[in-house]
Every structure is written in C-alpha cells, then in structure tokens.
Amino acid sequence: MNTPQAIQDRYPDEWNHCYGCGRLNDKSLRITSYWTGDEAICNYIPKDEQTAFPGVLSGGVIASVIDCHSLAAASAAFGAQLGIAENEPLPRCVTASLKVDFLKPTPLGPVTVRAHAQEIRGRKAIIISHLFSGSEECARGEVIAVLKPDA
Amino acid sequence: MNTPQAIQDRYPDEWNHCYGCGRLNDKSLRITSYWTGDEAICNYIPKDEQTAFPGVLSGGVIASVIDCHSLAAASAAFGAQLGIAENEPLPRCVTASLKVDFLKPTPLGPVTVRAHAQEIRGRKAIIISHLFSGSEECARGEVIAVLKPDA
C-alpha cells in the first residue's frame, strides 16, 4: 500500500516555507492535510505549550491549523478542477479572509479538522472547516482562499 | 518615569499561560499590549521562521497577534468600565469569534496593531483592530470577546 502524500508535500518548493505547514521550514508546526476526493482531513497533535488556559488548546493555534488546512483544501480542490495529475505540483493559494467561531473550549490534545470547498468561483474558493476533539465539534472555520497571482 | 505595565502582566496568574501572550508560559510568543485610555497598542517583532512565503509574515501568526491583542484590549476596556484600579488584576476574556481580513501581504518585520472596543454590551465586547507594517495597513481584525465565566 502506498503512503498517501500530504497536500503540502505537493506545493512547489519555492512556496513551501510556511510557519504553519511548510515542508522546507525547520520550525514549522507541520500541519498536514490529506485529500479524500471531496474533503481534506488534518490530524494535528498540539505541543504541551500550545495552551490558551491550562488544559485548553490555544485559539491562535486553532486559527493557524484552520488557515493552513483550508488553503490546502483549496489547493486540492483547484487541482482537481484543473485536472492536475497526482504527481504534479498543486497551485498555491493565499488567504483573503479567515473567520473562526470558537464553539466551546478545545481540550489540549489531538484534533481533527475536516474541510470542504463550499464554492469555487474563478480564482476564489470558500472553504468551510469543522474542528473536532473526539466527536465534539469545538470550532468552525470559513476561509476565503485565492489562487496566488503567480500560481 | 514609570515603565508602563503590559495588559497581559495584569492578568491573574492562573489564567496567564497562553501560548500567544502568557507571562507564565516559557514558550509563549510574548505578544504584549499597552492601553492608552481609548485603544490598545501592540508592537510585535516576528521571528525569522514566522513566514507565509519568503519575506512575508505568516497569516497564522497575524491571527494569533490579533487574537491575543484584541482580548487584551477587551480586558482593559472592561477594567476601565468596571473601575478596576491600576494595581488590581484585570478580568480575563475568551474569544467567541475571530475574523481577519488580509488586505495585502505583510512584510516579515515589525508590525503595530491598534485595537479599540467598537461596542461593549453586557459581558461581550466587539474589538476592531488594524495591523500596520510601517504606515501600510496590511490586515484588519474583528474579535468578539466575552468575559470568562469565572472572571
């Protein structure tokens, strides 16, 4: 069985230095996303220091995970739409806006984020994401992602 | 002349472990905010690795700075409203929602964020913030902050 490739591993090298998810940034949080065909899945394990309050995951980290993961979902969705082959680099997106609703405190522990493209119009995608701790949805994201001008 | 005290230094110790701004978190980004009486000012100097793309500040870091700084502005605004003395701890807030509009790429370098309370109603404050690189506004934030239930 092949190990599935992370979406971020298909970003072009010159745009792969992101602090959240960059493969070529030694100090990156290494947020990684996998495309299932209609949604992207991210499993993130926080570090002990990434707290808001003791035992509760930092909202800034949640925003970072939702941001990077939503851009990855947008890249994969654009790639699928453009018919880009699996061994080819994906187009890179940037964030025009990021909104996170914190529904309840997220326990400091592994989280899963599921993201899908609600709409793609031209060079813009609206990505909706749901962050879970176990089966509890703790945060919800809406990101407007735009294809990078030179992507 | 007295050195002004950061808003975060007036948070109660038990709620001062935030990864973004916690005085008692060794690995915190040490986002610090100062209250001027009607707005809060934050000067943040990013680390070299906090990039989105080479030379451009990470959107996740921008979201983290806006989140922590907006909560600090809300704490100070509630403190002023409640008549809390300058040597007393401030009430702590949590984020109900965070929205960031990325107006243009933010160069990787010092940024200043100015935040004010657009509205305070009961236990909820709407905080608007503007992030500048030099004189250029690069991002804008809207945070709904809520007094912590036990604050």
In the prediction, which pLDDT does A62 show? 98
Mean pLDDT value of segment B47-74? 98
pLDDT-wise least confident of A9-13, A97-101, B3-7: B3-7
- Mean pLDDT over B49-63 rounds to 97
Q: Which residues of A touch B54 (CB under 8 A)?
A: 14, 17
B30 touching A, CB under 8 A?
Answer: no
Q: For the segment B83-108, what is each residue's pLDDT rounded down to a tens digit?
A: 999 889 999 999 999 999 999 999 99
pLDDT above 70 for A123? yes
Does B53 contact A15 at a Cβ distance shorter than 8 Å?
yes
Q: Is the pLDDT of residue B4 over 90?
A: no
State residue A150's pLDDT score: 75
The whole-angstrom distance between B72's CA and the closest CA on chain A is 13
Percent with pLDDT over 70 in chain A: 97
- Contact status, residue B7 vs residue B39, Cβ threshold 8 Å: no
Domains and CATH numbers, chain A: 7-147 (3.10.129.10)
Contacts of B20 in chain A (CB under 8 A): 58-60
Q: Which of B27, B47, B68 sits opposite A49 (nearest CB)?
A: B27
What average pLDDT score do residues A126-134 get?
A: 98
Residue B102 to residue A98, Cβ atoms within 8 A: yes
Helix (H) or strand (E) holding A79: helix A59-82
Contacts of A102 in chain B (CB under 8 A): 94-98
Interatomic CA distance for residues B112 and A109, integer angstroms: 32
Amino acid (one-letter) located at A149: P
Average per-residue pLDDT for chain A: 95
Q: Which two tokens stand for residue B111?
A: 């940024």
CA nearest B21 in A: which residue? Answer: A52
Tell me what pLDDT residue A3 has: 60
One-letter identity of residue A91 = P
Reported pTM: 0.96
Nearest chain B residue (CA) to A104: B96
Please state, in angstroms and rounded to a whole number, the distance separating the CA atoms of residues A98 and B123.
Answer: 24
User: Is B1's pLDDT higher than 60?
Assistant: no
Question: What average pLDDT does this structure show over A31-54?
Answer: 96
pLDDT per residue over A56-114, tens digit each?
999 999 999 999 999 999 999 999 999 999 889 999 999 999 999 999 999 999 999 99
Q: Where do the H-state alpha helices sit in B10-144? A: 59-82
Residue A151's pLDDT band (cuts 50, 70, 90): low
- Residue whose C-alpha is closest to residue B72's, from B133, B120, B116, B121: B116
Mean pLDDT along residues B112-127:
98
pLDDT of residue A2: 53
Average pLDDT of chain B?
95
Is A53's CB within 8 Å of B26's CB? no
pLDDT above 70: residue A29: yes
| Partner B contacted by A63 (CB < 8 A) | yes
Number of H helices, E strands in chain A: 1, 6
Q: State how far Cα A24 lies from the chain centre.
A: 17
Sheet (strand B93-102) strand order:
A34-35, A40-44, A111-121, A124-133, A136-147, A93-102, B93-102, B136-147, B124-133, B111-121, B40-44, B34-35
